[in-house]
Structure 1
Amino acid sequence: MTRIAVIGGGWAGLAAAAEAVSLGAAVTLFEMAPTLGGRARSLEGSEPALDNGQHILIGAYTDALALMRRVGADPEADLLRMPLRLRYPDRETLSLPGGPPTLAFLRGVLGCAAWSWRDRLQFLKASSGWTMRGFRCDPALTVAELCAGLPRAIRDDLIDPLCVAALNTPATQASAQVFLRVLKDALFSGPGSADLLLPRRGLSALLPSPARDWLLARGAQLRTQRVQRLAASGRGWRVDDEPADAVIIACSSVEAARLTRDLAPRWSATAGAFEFQPIVTVYLESAGTALPAPMIALRESATEPAQFAFDLGQLGQHPGLFSLVVSGAASWVERGLEATGAAALEQAVRRLPWEHPPRLVRVLSEKRATFACTPGRVRPDAAIAPALWAAGDYLAGPYPATLEGAVRSGLAAARSAMRQLGADASS
């Protein structure tokens, strides 16, 4: 039986392991953390139960949703599906109705009473231009440059929050080309593609825990260790002391660069050259409080860091528990988590309705939550060497760092590895 080693138990590694098992391989999964899931997991032993960050999925995440179903999770029950709706504490902005995507977008924009008719028509004109150009632009452009001609209300209410939510990079720094691809797939790829999917359960229950059980039930081996050395062995590899016919490196780009430094120096240098953007999640508690909606958009400023607030009680998790998300949080991390948490708490008190004054529960930071999705960013390919592949949301492709990108890369790496091994065996 073909032996495949997968290094890394995040969403990319779990996707690669599940696909390789489905294709008939004997899989050994290496993960140095005690909990699977990488940057999208639940924290062990936290009370109340917390995730290591708030995540949103969207209807366009077809491969992630299919993988969840494959391993026994139930995304229809575990995720609250709601149409894209950007609701601020003081007013409603864009809300997309159901139906064919182009018609839904047209109806949503024309029906947005928060924007003037002139603003709405200017936005439709600009978006029509993006569509006619195939959602392509000069790769050197930032989102801010691409959208400089749009009305201020459109940029403040829609473009900037969508950009930082999808790319985790401020619009003044973010790649316009990647942003346009996100808009294309989210808003125009099919009915429901732009729907927001908000977790009703902890992140580990969405994929990491059911995937672990599914893999173990099918004979996969799980090693809780940090891989120290990867070495060629005949036509295959040795992962520390374990032989493998092929290896999929599905850990972070930093770890992948370390493991390949001597094996593929050029690939390693590219993988190790990323700059990163952090995400900070601030958890608050206020018994008896419910926000006007499960998700509320907020306006960030120099003193107010959060872009979104989530009512976890309305999502079926812990009543009275709330999370505030600070994406593209590099400047706030520099100020320190204590200062960020205090500023987010003040913002929440000022902007949101509370039955009782909220209490700060915890401030969590993923310092390398995503790569900085800037124009011209060079990203490594999945193929590293014969029978050696990479999987991860940082690899070359049209998308920013997302759960869907991680899952797709894992599936592709497993298929490529099995296809290459099959071709080698035939020859």
Structure 2
Amino acid sequence: MESNNKRNDSLQRPTVIIIGGGWAGLTAATEATLAGYQVTLFEAAPQWGGRARACEFNGITVDNGQHLFMGAYHHCFEMMKKIGLKVEDFFESQPFDITIIGDEVLQLKASRNLTAPWHLFVGGLFAKGLSFSEKNAFYRLIKQLKRPSEDCPADIWLLSLGQTESLIERFWSPLCLGALTTPVSNASAFLLYEVLHQVFFTQARNSDWYFPTQTLDRIFPLPAVKWLATKGAHLHLKSRVSKILLKENKAIGVEIGGQSFHADYVILATAPRAAKKIFETSDLDSLALMIDQIKSEPISTLYLQFPPTATIGQPMLGFSDPILQWVFDRGITHGTPGLLAVVTSSFDAIGEIGTAEFSQAIVSRLTAYFPYLGSNQPITKWIRDRHGAISATPGCQEYRPRNRTYVPGLWLAGDYCHTPYPSTIEGAMMSGQQCIKSIKKMRNSVQQGVITLEI
């Protein structure tokens, strides 16, 4: 009788172990808790947030790399609301307005009064710094955007849509690099199409910028942890999972420091390289080989603390520059005067000449564009991640794993998993949600006596 009661309790309250306390793992934990599951969450680091976490610089808290949100981040905003947060308390939103500095300054502001995609077309029509032929090319893309027939390099696809080489170089290339973290000449046309379609062609508000006004850990990770604790979830920092426990080829739990923890389901929500190590120690070689097929792109953020009066005059600027892609003014967005965050993809060049020399090259570029920043050398801090995002190259979607693995009881979550998006916080959170939806669907099918396969 006692055994039957335990089985009934298990059916009523399934147990889930989640490995990784980043945005994907915390999303999965939140959704599982809302579904009535008992959640245990293990994070190897001493803090929550994964790669989008907080760190210290010059006596203030900053992000472990600069991130940008958009109105299309529906899964992110939905999760915030589910734990009782108000999106407007953490972001300053504004209609799409982008300035890209190169040999000439290009400025495009989307119309506030039109539906998508015509809000963008009018913005292109009245854009500053675009020639007549470039504006005409812009109109052709707005009029005929459709999913490419094959996944070719994004610049080839853009040329097929009538985009001029100058417009690709000055506008689409910086936008592609910012969205996909992959140069337009190497980027997946499929993924760029998905981003453009979702952001610019569905709802006008999807293209709005959402500038964080607080550090990323305060936007979701820390509130989620607090919410999960009130719901009875078991939360563990500094707890590195060494292997996934298997019984008759089914995932039944994890091992940490020689101690076993069991659950009905295991969700692995770490970065790909950490996942690969766990697969290898768990004798899941085919999953480790699958991870090996996923290539990565580096991301580097350079924080520059100028005197408090220094500013670029707006929250963000783009640059058509080989070493300088995006600059964010955190004095405007976060209330930390004089603090700029520079995003660059020139990881190898940094390694070749050294961080000090590369910092000086960036400062020289900035002060050339903005002499009023002053001649004083700013205080600097580099945040470098060689494997910051998946390489969004043609065909990459074929290698991105689905959430449900071939191992019964084992799911994957993370921005590298298969979603319509490149490596973004939105994609990570969508992946976490998909895991719990998949588990719920599987449980319902089992209870109804139906076996489902997710391909």
TM-score interval, smaller chain: over 0.9
Aligned-partner Cα distance in 2 for 1:353–1:292: 13
Moved more, 99-108 or 17-26: 99-108
In structure 2, what residue type is equivalent to 1:102?
Answer: P
Moved more, 241-250 or 373-382: 373-382
Which residue is 1:420 aligned to? Answer: 442
Alignment match of 2:240 (pick from 188, 207, 226): 226
Q: Does 1:285 align with 2:297?
A: no
Which residue is 2:380 aligned to? Answer: 361
Partner-residue secondary structure (3-state), 2:217: helix
Alignment match of 1:294 (pick from 298, 308, 315): 315
Alignment match of 1:184 (pick from 161, 173, 197): 197
Alignment of 1:21-420 (within 5 A): 21-43=33-55, 47-88=59-100, 91-98=105-112, 99-130=114-145, 134-139=146-151, 141-148=152-159, 150-224=163-237, 225-233=239-247, 237-240=252-255, 241-261=260-280, 262=282, 264-286=284-306, 287-301=308-322, 305-327=323-345, 329-357=347-375, 359-377=378-396, 378-384=399-405, 385-420=407-442
Q: What TM-score, normalized by structure 1, do the two folds share?
A: 0.93
Aligned-partner Cα distance in 2 for 1:120–1:318: 38
Aligned-partner Cα distance in 2 for 1:113–1:129: 23
Aligned-partner Cα distance in 1 for 2:270–2:155: 32
Partner-residue secondary structure (3-state), 1:242: strand
Contact 1:277 1:330 in 2 (8 A): no
5+ unaligned residues in a row in structure 1: which ranges? none
Partner-residue secondary structure (3-state), 1:192: helix
Contact 1:57 1:196 in 2 (8 A): yes
Alignment match of 1:16 (pick from 28, 31, 37): 28
Moved more, 115-124 or 143-152: 143-152
Contact 1:288 1:356 in 2 (8 A): no
5+ unaligned residues in a row in structure 2: which ranges? 1-12, 450-455
Partner-residue secondary structure (3-state), 2:385: strand
Alignment size in residue pairs = 420
Alpha-carbon spacing, 1:66–1:333, altered in 2? closer, same or farther (3 Å):
farther
Aligned-partner Cα distance in 1 for 2:27–2:351: 31
Alpha-carbon spacing, 1:388–1:128, altered in 2? closer, same or farther (3 Å):
same
Alpha-carbon spacing, 1:411–1:2, altered in 2? closer, same or farther (3 Å):
same
Partner-residue secondary structure (3-state), 1:29: strand
Moved more, 226-235 or 390-399: 226-235
What is the percent sequence identity of the aligned residues? 28
Partner-residue secondary structure (3-state), 1:260: helix
In structure 1, what residue type is equivalent to 2:107?
Answer: T
Aligned-partner Cα distance in 2 for 1:400–1:323: 22
In structure 1, what residue type is equivalent to 2:439?
Answer: A
Give the CA deviation at 1:182.
Answer: 0.6
Alpha-carbon spacing, 1:128–1:231, altered in 2? closer, same or farther (3 Å):
same
Partner-residue secondary structure (3-state), 2:417: coil
Alpha-carbon spacing, 1:85–1:332, altered in 2? closer, same or farther (3 Å):
farther
Larger RCO (CA within 8 A; separation ≥ 6)? 1
Contact 2:269 2:414 in 1 (8 A): yes
Contact 1:64 1:407 in 2 (8 A): yes
Aligned-partner Cα distance in 2 for 1:123–1:329: 32
Contact 1:19 1:414 in 2 (8 A): yes
CA displacement 1:190-225 (0-9 Å, x = unmatched): 121011111111111111111110111111111221
Contact 1:267 1:380 in 2 (8 A): no
CA displacement 1:119-164 (0-9 Å, x = unmatched): 211222134332xxx322421x112222345224421331011110
Alpha-carbon spacing, 1:69–1:328, altered in 2? closer, same or farther (3 Å):
farther
Larger radius of gyration: 2
Moved more, 24-33 or 340-349: 340-349
Contact 1:169 1:328 in 2 (8 A): no
Give the CA deviation at 1:350.
Answer: 1.3
Contact 1:73 1:205 in 2 (8 A): no
In structure 2, what residue type is equivalent to 1:118?
Answer: S
